[in-house]
Amino acid sequence: MNYFGYPVGAPDGVLGRQSRGAISQYQSTLGYPATGYLTDYERNLLITSYHRAVAGGPVTMQQAAANPMGMRGLIMQWRDEAAGIVPQGQYTPQGQMAVAPAAPAPEPEAPAVIEALVPEVAPEPEEPGLPSFLGAGTVEASLASHCNRIGLMTTTNGGYTTAATMLDPMSALGEQFCLVRSFAIAQGEEMAAKVPGVTKADISAQCAGFGPTMKAEVAALSLAPADEVIGDVRAFALNSGMAPAQLAATAKICLSVGYAEDKMDIAVASGLILAALGEGAYGEVLGHHLSQGFGAAQRTDLAFDWYDIAIEAADRSGTAAFAPGQPDRMQLVRKAAYAVAGREDQAALPEETIPAALPSFALPEAGSETEMTEAPVVTTVPTTTVSAD
């Protein structure tokens, strides 16, 4: 399970909650019922795929790198090949991945029964519920794959879009999203390397709990205004029992894990924690998730307030949080964010004003030479009397 990106931690011989959760993720990826308990078919598929991957060596790594879902995608590909389904994974002209239908798991043969011994039981009527047309096996869009395409386009266009050259605000924000993602991955990995006594697998397993624990707050990002979401996340942080500095460091490490493993619920939950703890720069992260539609519904109206939080934070600090080498980057984010929100006329930077100050004049001291030489001369004019004659 660990090998294919379903973290269960170090082997301890116990199938606990973490293992059941990873098994459920594995089953959901394949489109099977997420029970948390492996069927014989699912177990054999997992073990066979593992031995095939190990035997493939470097070829396996190349195949995983070419698959948008990485190692998880290989299991789906090999399962479909065994079932005689044409391998999928190609991108349509619209940029969406064509996903093959899940190969049905073979059902075990039912034991023979004597009909006379089986009483007839009327089926219980099912209670009506909310309709759902997308099953649990639906594959979420891959941010890693999206950023690979963005990187190729950026290289083809000769570099990143600037505020002066911006023509498509959504594309410009997409570039900045992928730039921030790369920075967050590097920053988190550097911090994780300094944590004593834990392995990369341990950190990944612990961060896996971030998304489910904050499921309600992550969902609220797509539904509620920024200030309301921040209030709820602050309440969550206060009840977490962790010191703010420790929680912030943990969130930055888990943000890196979420992006590196393409797990958007972990990334969004981590970004929410950081923004709620007062690190306004991470409002940009959440604005990107909403404007681009990764890990959240595509809501440009809600995205604007998150971008505005980041812009105000940058104005206060005067620095670019995620790309120190690009001091003008936030001007581009400002221009693009206002454009997608339909507020282009408000995107101009505020004009600099000279701060008001009290007037100050230097006056000479009494009796000084300056006072004597520069004192005004008073001339006495004689009075002339005019007679009535």
What band does 373 get if pLDDT is binned at 50, 70 and 90? Answer: very low
Q: State both tokens at 179.
A: 């730039």
**Is the pLDDT score of 382 beyond 50?**
no
Q: How far is CA 370 from CA 137, 287, 313, 360, 377, in A?
A: 92, 65, 52, 19, 14
| C-alpha span between 344 and 342 (Å, rounded) | 6
Q: What is the reported pTM?
A: 0.57
| C-alpha span between 88 and 98 (Å, rounded) | 6
Residue 287: enclosing H or E segment and its boundaries?
helix 283-292
Average pLDDT along the chain: 78
Domain limits, the chain: 1-89, 143-346
pLDDT of residue 123: 57
Please check whether residue 160 is in contact with residue 175, taking contact to mean a CB–CB distance below 8 angstroms: yes
**Is the pLDDT score of 97 beyond 90?**
no
Percent of the chain with pLDDT over 90: 34
pLDDT single digits (tens) 12-70: 777 788 888 888 888 888 888 888 888 888 888 888 888 887 777 767 777 777 777 77
What band does 187 get if pLDDT is binned at 50, 70 and 90? Answer: very high
Greatest mean pLDDT among 12-26, 109-123, 192-206, 288-302 lies in: 288-302
pLDDT single digits (tens) 240-276: 888 999 999 999 999 999 999 999 999 999 999 999 9
Mean pLDDT computed over 161-166: 90
Closest CA to 47 of 9, 80, 79, 84: 79
Q: State both tokens at 99.
A: 């996903």
| C-alpha span between 248 and 253 (Å, rounded) | 9
**Is the pLDDT score of 379 beyond 50?**
no
**Is the pLDDT score of 349 beyond 80?**
no
Q: Among 213-222, 223-232, 300-309, 326-335, whose mean pLDDT is lowest?
A: 326-335
Tokens 């300094």 sit on residue: 194
In DSSP notation, 44-85 reads HHHHHHHHHHHHHTHHHHHHHHHSTTTHHHHHHHHHHHHTTP
Mean pLDDT computed over 357-367: 58
